[in-house]
A and B are shown apart, each in its own frame.
Chain A
Amino acid sequence: MQIRRLKTGGCIDRSKPIYFSFNNRLLDGYEGDTLASALLANNVSLVARSIKYHRPRGIISAGLEEPCALVACADEHGMMIPNLKTTEARLNKGLTARSQNCWPFVELDIGALLQMGSALLAVGFYYKTFMWPKDWWHRVYEKFIRRAAGQGRVTYDADKRLYDKKYAHCDTLVIGSGPTGIEAALSAAESGVSVILIEQDCVIGGSVLWEKTSTDSLTTIKLKQYKNLRFMVNTLAFGQYDHGLILAVEQNKKNVESIFWRIRAKSIVFATGATEQPLVFPGNDRPGIMLAAAVRQYIYRYAVIPGKRAFLAIADQQERELTEKALQVAGVEIVGSLGEGDQITGTSGWHRLRKVHLLNKKSISCDLICVSNGWISNAQLSAQMGDKQTFATSLEQRPNPQQHTGSAKAFVDLQNDVTRDDLALAVREGYSHIELAKRYTTVGMGTDQGKTSWPNAIVELERLSAQDSSRVGLTTFRPPVSPVSFGALVGVETGQRMVPIRRTPFHNAFEKAGCVFQTTGDWLYSRYFRVGKESMNDAILREVSAVRTSVGCVDMSTLGKVDVKGRDALEFLSRVYCNNIDGIKPGRLRYVLMLREDGILYDDGTVAQLADNHFLVTLTSANAGQSWRWLNKLLQLPWPDLDVQLTPVSDHWASLAIAGPQSRNLLADLNPNFEIDKTSFPFASVKQGLLDDDTPCRVFTVSFSGELSYEINVPAGFADQLFKRVLDKGAAYDISPYGLETLDALRIEKGHISVGTEIDGRTTAADLGLGKMVSTRKAFIGSSLLQRPVLQQPDRMQLVGLIPADGSSTIPAAAHLTDAPWQVGKTQTPLGRLTATVHSPTLGHSIALALLERGPQRINQKLWAVSPVEDKSVEVLVVGNCFYDVEGSRLHE
């Protein structure tokens, strides 16, 4: 029953009643109501319990500054959304709201017992106790504190709502649709520039809505007449960033829960208004004590009377007069007003205000106190950019008439229950700078971001520490101006869409061939190919065997590929890579190493010379992006005088390597229009031409597997065709396509290094046995810092191979190398660690690669590979870091 609803007036739509539930009570309101106005209309004044003392709290404001009246509401999926301010929650059909942080009911909350010990619970009390017995903070006390803390509850259920993120641009952005904002928007639109007007409330009007009883529909019509003006309501501007960037969240949309807007404007008008400040006096937190302008807004805009007997405690005369007028219009009895020199010594009432007590006067019975200690402009967006705010008046001039300290608590921060005494204690203990006071007392750190507390807090601190405001300081303003949904800030980029997925040109064809994919960095890459119902291990055995005895094929498309042209191309590449490559000729390629500027090995790849001044460079998949940027940076910054042109061609070429003793025969069956015998097309070469007279190709003789191998590159559109032909012709050799798992097993058998394992950002080329590849007769990136003494020491960790000493045990993965087996409780200093292990299908036993102190000098030594986590210790024999075809003869067959 809306007993507090005025019979006429308000901007609500009385033809659209809305039923909602609050703490399981069925209530009604109208379209246009907030949950707060509807509750007040139903004469509900007790809405919540304060966080620390569980004191009864009601609604004090009509906007985002609401500190206390927080509830949990159910969304359309029935999930509870915690911490909504009743003043921001729009009333809609079926709204279910519940008080938070109270048990069993908001009317009877067991937490209120905390007030009996409130003297103990002075600010910062938890720093002074809970230290004994020693582990009890975590094991006992913290559990209780955590359960008592926190406002609302949230469950683990995933959020099913849709969110969106969009961009907008305009010449003039106007934030706020009060009279100032409207004026600015209209005049800007009139001048012809593009205008966006945003308003966080659900209707246009701003402060007009507090003083008049009808919406100004005329204004909306005026706004709509401009094609170059766009206005959005329910849109909160919450952050400002450089170069005219405003971040905002728009709610109450049809298709989505909310939209996160990034608005770039050439000029911005901040018409964000101001927030009224409450008074600090003993007992200033009872339900029924409200901000004066909020009272007016409830009367005019919502046709609700928040009380029947009102007392006024308003500092400014004009404000007082406006409030008196509104109360008279609403038929509310004004039972008194705070005069010059009057002091409030306390209030009475538990679930609702009953009396106000004045010094030297008797107590006055009332159920509503309209308070106002002045206004603070909503300049947060400007302050976020570092614009400093200062008080316009000095300490003495500022209206803070209430200084009486009684036994009752005088609240400075209504949400975090921070009292005047708490601030006094903070100052006494040395936390008088606002930043320290804030952290110690938590004043201003609630979900209302201290909108009705930080100014009063500064005034209190000034008084208490006898400093002026510049010593106390102002806290830093940062986005958001009011809490904004995490969902909106993520938008559509949930699940698989968090960051883009890259697929190779063979993806679809592989899928049909039974490929099991794996996420590898940006890519979806083939992990292995499943035939029938085989397990992954069986597949790997089959694939490795195929490559070593016949032929397999693997996708190499993810490697970075860069086309390098120009008169200085060779000089450029010579500076970038540490190998001597000046002897390279057209049709040949080199395996190359790229060092970082500090001499550490960074990437490996190939440089192939296609023609005079024309090279193709490959980069590892993992480093492709970073290396591409690096190469460009070198040509732009230190070497702009080099005549070199780089073109990224990674996605242009699909690359399929066929590897195994039968690979040359298979290549022949693909009908290339160039010679491929051993002499014409040796290892480390490149040829270009056609396959079957219709498929352009580049074929490279490189090998990661250690077998005879041809990497066939075709323009990506030919990938399907190539793969089909390779499978068709390859059937004669029992071809097995393979993926990452087999690729890794093969390369470990050969001791080939890879990024992320041996190339770990700390090893040098020499550490990995590739010291001979580092030129001694030219300067290259990293050459000078590589000479630093520690990088040249012989006792560094260096690459070796390991085999089980007994020939059969499994070397534990990620083990470390020690000179004795692992023993629980003993600490050991390891001599090295494994970089890779695999059960070698080819050799029939476990093998590993490792970095070991003075590795090459320890060959034939026995050590222990220990994995304490898996409680395993296996004796191993140190060997060279190649387990298969050490001479590399199979590459040259």
Chain B
Amino acid sequence: MSNPLQISQQNMNGLWSIRANASHDLNSVSKGLFNQGIQFGEMLANDKLRLIQLWPDAAYLFSEQAELPPITNEFENMITDISHGFCTIKLTGENALTFVNNYCSADLAQSDITNQCLRTSLGHYQILIWWNNSDEVQLLVDRSYAHSLTDYLGALAHRN
């Protein structure tokens, strides 16, 4: 690669796990935040928030702020703060997306990943990936694995 891959690690700001319960499904929460429902595999985003549903009954809510956005009380029981449980690892450089695509089992070039985000594995690491263009990719990984994954990515980069 002509533009060498840069790998940097950072902590999250706001990240919450939202789980459907017997009283409310995820659509209710999604409508409260984005004025529209959400489906399994979908990502909704505005300039402040991002909601990703990557499990049948659970979604992740991302925010630049550490405070939970205003949301009705009745949804409180669905929400758990997990912002400290993850780190993001950012890969920047020409062909960053190709690099990641080479090493994870999902096909990142698939045309039907319309929202450019998915949950997959890279080696033995469970990660969430999203990207807006092919030169910058973000991986979300459990905090305790972050250091190890960074080392791993470095070894992979060394082979390219």
User: Which of A's residues lie within 8 Å of B, judged by CB?
Assistant: 162, 164-169, 194, 255-256, 262, 264, 492-493, 496-497, 499-505, 507, 523, 563, 565-567, 613-614, 643, 645-654, 715-718
Tell me if B45 is interfacial: C-beta within 8 Å of chain A: no
Distance between B118 CB and nearest chain A CB, rounded to angstroms: 13
Cα distance, A262 to B152, chains bound together (Å): 19
Q: Could you tell me which residues of chain B, from 93 to 129, have a CB within 8 Å of some CB in chain A?
A: 101-105, 107, 109-110, 123-125
Tell me whether B159 and A164 are in contact (CB under 8 A). yes
Tell me whether B80 and A501 are in contact (CB under 8 A). no
Tell me if B156 is interfacial: C-beta within 8 Å of chain A: yes
Q: Could you tell me which residues of chain B, from 36 to 91, have a CB within 8 Å of some CB in chain A?
A: 77-78, 80-86
CB neighbours of A168 from chain B (8 A): 102
CB neighbours of B84 from chain A (8 A): 651-654, 715-718
Tell me whether A567 and B22 are in contact (CB under 8 A). yes
Cα distance, A647 to B81, chains bound together (Å): 9
Distance between B83 CB and nearest chain A CB, rounded to angstroms: 7
Residue of A nearest to B123 (CB): A493
Distance between A658 CB and nearest chain B CB, rounded to angstroms: 20
Tell me if B3 is interfacial: C-beta within 8 Å of chain A: no
Decide yes or no: A492 and B22 within 8 Å by CB, A255-B160, A651-B144, A653-B84 being known contacts: no
Tell me if B29 is interfacial: C-beta within 8 Å of chain A: no
CB neighbours of A256 from chain B (8 A): 159
Tell me whether B85 and A500 are in contact (CB under 8 A). no
CB neighbours of B23 from chain A (8 A): 643
Tell me whether A647 and B159 are in contact (CB under 8 A). no
Tell me whether B156 and A643 are in contact (CB under 8 A). no
Tell me whether A162 and B148 are in contact (CB under 8 A). no
CB neighbours of A613 from chain B (8 A): 77
Distance between B157 CB and nearest chain A CB, rounded to angstroms: 10
Decide yes or no: A649 and B85 within 8 Å by CB, A502-B145, A716-B143 being known contacts: yes
Distance between A644 CB and nearest chain B CB, rounded to angstroms: 8
Q: Could you tell me which residues of chain B, from 132 to 155, have a CB within 8 Å of some CB in chain A?
A: 142-145, 147-149, 151-152, 155
Q: List 13 A-B contacts (CB under 8 A).
A: A162-B159, A164-B159, A255-B159, A496-B151, A500-B123, A503-B148, A565-B77, A566-B77, A613-B77, A649-B80, A649-B82, A651-B143, A716-B85
User: Which of B's residues lie within 8 Å of A, judged by CB?
Assistant: 11, 17, 19-23, 77-78, 80-86, 101-105, 107, 109-110, 123-125, 142-145, 147-149, 151-152, 155-156, 158-160
Decide yes or no: A264 and B107 within 8 Å by CB, A502-B145, A651-B85, A717-B11 being known contacts: yes
Cα distance, A565 to B85, chains bound together (Å): 18
Residue of A nearest to B104 (CB): A167
Distance between A637 CB and nearest chain B CB, rounded to angstroms: 14
Tell me whether A651 and B155 are in contact (CB under 8 A). no
CB neighbours of A651 from chain B (8 A): 84-86, 142-144
Cα distance, A496 to B151, chains bound together (Å): 10
Tell me whether B21 and A645 are in contact (CB under 8 A). yes
Distance between B8 CB and nearest chain A CB, rounded to angstroms: 17
Extra contacts, 7 of them, besides A497-B152, A613-B77, A651-B85 (Cβ < 8 A), are A500-B124, A565-B21, A565-B77, A645-B77, A647-B80, A653-B84, A718-B84
CB neighbours of A194 from chain B (8 A): 109
Tell me whether B144 and A647 are in contact (CB under 8 A). no
Decide yes or no: A647 and B82 within 8 Å by CB, A492-B152, A497-B151, A503-B148 being known contacts: yes
CB neighbours of A646 from chain B (8 A): 19
Tell me whether B159 and A167 are in contact (CB under 8 A). no
Decide yes or no: A164 and B144 within 8 Å by CB, A643-B21, A649-B80, A715-B83 being known contacts: no
Distance between A417 CB and nearest chain B CB, rounded to angstroms: 41
Cα distance, A496 to B150, chains bound together (Å): 13
Of B78, B81, B142, B155, the contact of A645 (CB 8 Å cutoff): B78
Tell me whether A500 and B77 are in contact (CB under 8 A). no
Cα distance, A650 to B86, chains bound together (Å): 10
Cα distance, A500 to B152, chains bound together (Å): 9
Decide yes or no: A643 and B152 within 8 Å by CB, A167-B104, A264-B107 being known contacts: no
Cα distance, A613 to B76, chains bound together (Å): 12
CB neighbours of B86 from chain A (8 A): 651
Residue of A nearest to B153 (CB): A492
List the 9 closest A-B pairs by CB distance, nearest first. A652-B85, A645-B19, A169-B107, A643-B22, A715-B84, A716-B84, A651-B85, A502-B144, A647-B80
Tell me whether B158 and A162 are in contact (CB under 8 A). yes
Cα distance, A716 to B85, chains bound together (Å): 7
Distance between A723 CB and nearest chain B CB, rounded to angstroms: 15
CB neighbours of B160 from chain A (8 A): 255
Tell me whether B80 and A563 are in contact (CB under 8 A). yes
Cα distance, A652 to B143, chains bound together (Å): 8
Tell me whether A502 and B148 are in contact (CB under 8 A). yes
- Which of B11, B22, B101: most chain A CB closer than 10 A? B22
Distance between A805 CB and nearest chain B CB, rounded to angstroms: 46
Decide yes or no: A650 and B102 within 8 Å by CB, A164-B159, A492-B156 being known contacts: no
Cα distance, A214 to B62, chains bound together (Å): 60
CB neighbours of B123 from chain A (8 A): 492-493, 500
Tell me whether A500 and B145 are in contact (CB under 8 A). yes
Residue of B nearest to A262 (CB): B105
Of B22, B83, B152, the contact of A652 (CB 8 Å cutoff): B83
Tell me whether A650 and B105 are in contact (CB under 8 A). no
Cα distance, A654 to B144, chains bound together (Å): 10
Cα distance, A366 to B122, chains bound together (Å): 59
Distance between A527 CB and nearest chain B CB, rounded to angstroms: 18
Of A164, A169, A614, the contact of B156 (CB 8 Å cutoff): A164
Distance between B3 CB and nearest chain A CB, rounded to angstroms: 16
Distance between B15 CB and nearest chain A CB, rounded to angstroms: 9
Cα distance, A295 to B148, chains bound together (Å): 53
Tell me whether B101 and A565 are in contact (CB under 8 A). no
Decide yes or no: A500 and B149 within 8 Å by CB, A166-B103, A492-B156, A651-B85 being known contacts: yes
CB neighbours of B159 from chain A (8 A): 162, 164, 255-256, 492
Cα distance, A613 to B77, chains bound together (Å): 9
CB neighbours of A652 from chain B (8 A): 81-85, 143
Residue of A nearest to B155 (CB): A492
CB neighbours of A505 from chain B (8 A): 143-144
Residue of A nearest to B144 (CB): A502
Cα distance, A653 to B20, chains bound together (Å): 23
- Which of A523, A565, A646: most chain B CB closer than 10 A? A565
CB neighbours of B109 from chain A (8 A): 169, 194
Of B80, B103, B155, B156, the contact of A565 (CB 8 Å cutoff): B80
Cα distance, A804 to B32, chains bound together (Å): 68
Residue of B nearest to A557 (CB): B144
Residue of B nearest to A500 (CB): B148
Cα distance, A166 to B102, chains bound together (Å): 5
Cα distance, A873 to B152, chains bound together (Å): 49
Distance between A456 CB and nearest chain B CB, rounded to angstroms: 41
Cα distance, A256 to B82, chains bound together (Å): 39
Distance between A887 CB and nearest chain B CB, rounded to angstroms: 38
Tell me whether A503 and B155 are in contact (CB under 8 A). no
Cα distance, A31 to B110, chains bound together (Å): 40
Distance between B114 CB and nearest chain A CB, rounded to angstroms: 17
CB neighbours of A503 from chain B (8 A): 144, 147-148
Cα distance, A653 to B142, chains bound together (Å): 12
Residue of B nearest to A259 (CB): B159
CB neighbours of B143 from chain A (8 A): 505, 651-652, 716
